[in-house]
Amino acid sequence: MRPVFVVPVAVLLVGFLGVAAQERVDHDVFWKIRQEGTNNSSVLHTVHQFSDVYSPRLTGSPQLKAAGDWAIEQMHAWGMKNGHLEPWDFGRPGWTNERLAAHIVSPVKDALVAEVLAWTPGTNGVLRGPAVSITLPQGVTRAALDAHLDTLKPTVKGAMVLVGAPRQVPVTFNQPALRREDAEVVTQMAPATPAAARGGGPAPQAQAAQAQAATPAADRPLTAAQIDNAFNAFLVAQGAHVRINDAGRDHGQIRAFNNRTYDPALSPPTVVMRNEDYGRIWRLLNGAPSSARPPGGAAAPVVTRGVELEFEIVNRLHPEGRTAYNVVAEIPGTDKADEVVMLGGHLDSWHAGTGATDNAIGCAVMMEAARILTAIGVKPRRTIRVALWTGEEQGLFGSQAYVREHFGTVEEPKPAHAKFAGYFNIDSGTGRARGLTVFGPAEAATILREAIAPLADLGLLGATSTTSRARGSTDHSSFNWAGLPGINVLQDPIEYQTYTWHTNLDTYERIVEDDAKKSAMAIAAAVYHLAMREEMLPRLSGEAMPRRPAGN
């Protein structure tokens, strides 16, 4: 049992605020938000639609487009306005996996558990072949790699190729906590101490790149990605049947991403196999580690000849997926309608699971926040706009396109840049909202911290600020990058990093409804506050605004 935390949250909050709140919060509306969100929640229905009916939702896939169409229809049915899809250029076809059958057929017969790597080709029928195991050299030059691959030519034709030794995944004796302690959240969200000044001189990566550039191309060691791409080309050229990667995680978890070229012609049919099946086949081919051999000097591993596998993989490309769509709908504002408060998350998912915690639940929470505000009949001064992004998993593409198109950057602003009042983003699974991180000056965090103080019992305990414009992690950073107040929601971890993030276990069953309902109510209240207060959130001005990071 974990120690019980006895200091009431309110005491901590008062302690950290130090002064009486300046923000005038509309307690009547906050109360209505709680009533509506508690009694009439739509969260589970929305997650069911996105994760059971419209999934997986890979960017460019027909299911993702259909999920967007459904979301617009639903938001209109709730009374929201101006729902529409906004196209952006994905530039590559969509891809879906329709069928995967994987079996070991010799020396034993058994089903194997695997997921297909996205944007790889299918097998064009049932393929059977010998399993072979290959460990690639690392840090070698192109010439050394080619010489090594030459020796493998007789091995890989018509083979099922296991690439790399299986990862040894130890038993986890100390499971990480599912919830964050209140005190820890309050400390993290306390008024920020000034960020340390950035040191001069090039970053380590830049130094490494300079050293690379000084070496003649032929003598440079290849990166792991270059070796992997070359190996795929080799497998295609030599007629290997299937490439098999180790999932390397416990309890059958599989994370399957994409062929990094996004071009099925440059890759063999490829699966990611659960560590347990991958390890079994590897041991049949190579023997168990020495510690698993019988005692008494039986040094030579027992190697099983004639390990044969069978695969059938059906994948499909969708040329129309070259155009992808963000989903947008609004609660129109009144006297400040040209100013906008946004909230959202990404609707696209990976394909091994149904993308329930990443990020159907985030979309459901943000849609629910807007539904609550619509249902209780608020007339916000500013326009409240929900956005569900696509292309997030491939590199935040949808939100970047949207920000470029609508707002520009602080260096090259469009008129709407000056009318932007904040963007709330949620994308860390099913756990309840615990804190907010806003891009901007410390005063922006103070405003949010004071606005959400009445919501502490829902779990949302504070706000802090950041001045990082680096793009990464998730879609709020597309706004930060443009110098706009992106607001990312910190959440309780629950099982996100341990089980569901990008895995085959990311399904409806892993949703915690009570957490999602609380997140939706808290975010609805925070959004409403920003839509009503006299001024927009303060921004970094002049030299306080960091320069746009180079290279992205």
Q: Which is nearer to Zn ion, 471 or 533 (CB)?
A: 471
361-375 and 62-77 helices, crossing angle to 10°: 20
* Smallest distance, Zn ion to C-beta of residue 66, A: 19
Mapping DSSP onto H, E and C, the string for 189-210 reads CCCCCCCCCCCCCCCHHHHHHH
Alpha-carbon dihedral sign for residues 470, 473, 479, 485: negative
Stretch of 21-29, 172-180, 326-334, 358-366 contacting Zn ion, by CB under 5 A: 358-366
Cβ atoms of residues 137 and 217 within 8 Å: no
| Region of 4-12, 149-157, 355-363, 478-486 interacting with Zn ion (CB under 5 A) | 355-363
Of the candidate spans 268-276, 288-296, 357-365, 532-540, the one that interacts with Zn ion by CB under 5 A turns out to be 357-365
Instruction: Give the pair of three-digit tokens for residue 333.
Output: 């504002």
Identity of the residue, 51 or 374, whose beta carbon is nearer to Zn ion in the bound complex: 51
Strands (E), 55-147: 81-89, 94-106, 110-111, 114-116, 126-134
What is the rounded CA–CA span in Å between residue 433 and residue 50?
Answer: 21
| Distances, alpha carbon 75 to alpha carbons 346, 347, 360, 386, 492, in Å | 16, 15, 15, 9, 27
The residue among 382 and 476 lying less far from Zn ion, judged by its C-beta, is 476
CB nearer to Zn ion: pick between 36 and 368: 368
The structure tokens 């005190």 sit at 183
Nearer Cβ to Zn ion, position 330 or 427? 427
One DSSP character per residue, 368-392 reads HHHHHHHHTT---SEEEEEEEESSH
Taking CB under 5 A as the binding criterion, the range among 20-28, 423-431, 516-524, 528-536 that sits at the site for Zn ion is: 423-431
Name the minimum Å distance from CB 497 to Zn ion: 12
Q: Which is nearer to Zn ion, 115 or 358 (CB)?
A: 358
Asked whether position 359 contacts Zn ion by CB under 5 A, the answer is yes
For residue 108, what are its two tokens? 């034993």
Taking the complex as a whole, the smallest distance from the CB of residue 373 to Zn ion amounts, in Å, to 24
Range in contact with Zn ion (rule: CB under 5 A) among 100-108, 145-153, 353-361, 532-540: 353-361
Least distance to Zn ion from the beta carbon of 427, Å? 4
Q: Which of 358, 368, 495, 515 binds Zn ion (CB under 5 A)?
A: 358
CA pair distance 13, 544, nearest whole angstrom: 28
Report in angstroms how near the CB of residue 346 gets to Zn ion at its nearest.
6
Q: Which is nearer to Zn ion, 446 or 474 (CB)?
A: 474
Piece in contact with Zn ion (CB under 5 A), picked from 199-207, 252-260, 413-421, 425-433: 425-433
Report whether 106 contacts 307 (CB < 8 A). Answer: yes
Q: CB-based contacts of 78: which residues, under 8 Å, 6+ apart?
A: 42, 370, 371, 374, 375
| Binding footprint of Zn ion, residue count (CB under 5 A) | 3
| Shortest Å, Cβ 275 to Zn ion | 23
Instruction: Choose which of 427, 450, 475, 492 interacts with Zn ion (CB under 5 A).
Output: 427
Q: Which of 419, 411, 454 is nearest to 531 (CA)?
A: 419
Each residue 299-338 as x (binds Zn ion by CB under 5 A) or -, in order, gives ----------------------------------------
Q: Please, which of residues 495-514 interact with Zn ion by CB under 5 A?
A: none
Which residues, at least 6 apart from 204, have a Cβ–Cβ distance to it below 8 Å? none
Question: CB-wise, 333 or 344, nearer to Zn ion?
Answer: 344
Our CB check for Zn ion shows the closer of 259 and 359 to be: 359
Report the interface residues with Zn ion, using CB under 5 A: 358-359, 427
